[in-house]
Structure 1
């Protein structure tokens, strides 16, 4: 699949993958700084943003999408960073194509299986009937019945767009994500290891990477480092962007 991406900056290539319900836009503010040191590929993963939509949606096909992007761009290898779902895609890709990844950064996710915990978000999104929707304000009001946090609602509503006729559309493939949400939480199930340097960068206020994950991380990524950024939760790049920028630079540089 030919993914949509924004290429910016100059230097060695760094591919960045967003998380579930997100898009390449989530990394634009950080890209302004990192682009001074690296050529960034800010990617919309399939079924998200402006990339194509498909019934096929798991880490196998999402990793193959990255392989196709690198081939099209003439990249023999690159630095690779992914957040949450994007971190799982990045881990899967690094284990399958270790020769294509110079260093790996995994933001607030571990290789283990995670239980489905997005039911309320999916209920809220599916409650918005696009054919009847009159405004973004109306969408926010409907979503507020399910999600009280306005920041999370605004993040989710970034995926609400309009088609060429002005009708509201979802940029995410909501039916497929709803039907196959369990795929996002799947554990890595691959043989082999990724032996190049790997950084697991978690949020100190998040429970996505914990002490119990070290055995799995050791198994797949023997040359790794785990850090937790202070005053950051799961969306650490939005909550502590400067800390993320400096940590990425130090690790890659």
Structure 2
């Protein structure tokens, strides 16, 4: 996997959400890198990481451990937003001996309904023959029903190619594996290590009815909420989000 590494100390892996890349949690990484070795990753089928035909949480968890092996790291704390939070949780459930803690930002260990149909339609219907530049792509996506903030976020992966424009992310692969990414296959496993769930106060991704599932799989959990934020809590209130996460991480006294 493509990655960016900064700082020294106990290892922390930052994992972005669906359609994102390793820059999404860059602000959090900057707040942690003075005391920790921070590894920001491009998840497979995103950014500059390899494209996978089959993408599910067991395979993604294995990929995270393989990355630790490549870097000579025994254990790391995993922090992820949305899909990245699920990858962090899956790694802890599947490979608990390699995980020193988990932070899941605005996501629960549950299956979710389809909610990205408009996004996929907008992405797949955008002409990539050079007739549509970044400005026109934004108009296209808004006309397709995608809100401007989401469209601007998606366009971070839009790049010029030799023949026009293209997407860094593997849209076909993400669409093909979407059911696996919104699903959750780990109901019988649990992780007893320190865990923090942070939800956006106005988001519907972490609901009261998810609490039993969270407690069953992550019994040592702390639950926090950031008021007046939605699913993009780390971007809406970055200073508060970063301070809350760093406070949790610092409280663990992670070994080198």
Q: How does the TM-score come out when normalised to structure 1?
A: 0.95
CA distance in 1, matches of 2:152, 2:5: 25
Q: How does the TM-score come out when normalised to structure 2?
A: 0.94
Gaps of 5+ in 2: 251-256
Number of residue pairs matched by the alignment: 250
Residues 190 and 74 of structure 1: is their aligned pair in 2 closer, same or farther, counting only changes over 3 Å? farther
Partner of 2:219: 222
Residues 235 and 26 of structure 1: is their aligned pair in 2 closer, same or farther, counting only changes over 3 Å? same
Shift of residue 31, structure 1, vs aligned partner? 2.0
Q: In the alignment, is the contact (CA less than 8 A) between 1:109 and 1:209 conserved in 2?
A: yes
2:37 corresponds, among 27, 36, 39, to 39
Within 5 Å, give how 1:166-245 maps onto structure 2. Answer: 167-245=164-242
Query: Residue 37 of structure 1 aligns to a residue in which SS?
Result: coil
| Deviation string, structure 1 residues 29-80 (Cα, Å, up to 9, x no partner) | 2322221121110000000001010101111111111011000001100111
Within 5 Å, give how 1:51-70 maps onto structure 2. Answer: 51-70=49-68
CA distance in 2, matches of 1:26, 1:151: 14
Residue 247 of structure 2 corresponds to residue 250 of structure 1: yes
CA distance in 2, matches of 1:166, 1:39: 39
1:120 corresponds, among 118, 121, 124, to 118
CA distance in 2, matches of 1:180, 1:52: 15
CA distance in 2, matches of 1:27, 1:76: 23
> Over the residues paired in the alignment, what is the CA RMSD in angstroms?
1.3
Query: Residue 56 of structure 1 aligns to a residue in which SS?
Result: coil
Residue 89 of structure 2 corresponds to residue 91 of structure 1: yes
Residues 188 and 199 of structure 1: is their aligned pair in 2 closer, same or farther, counting only changes over 3 Å? farther
CA distance in 1, matches of 2:14, 2:31: 14
Q: In the alignment, is the contact (CA less than 8 A) between 1:133 and 1:139 conserved in 2?
A: no
| Deviation string, structure 1 residues 193-228 (Cα, Å, up to 9, x no partner) | 110110011100101111111111111111001111
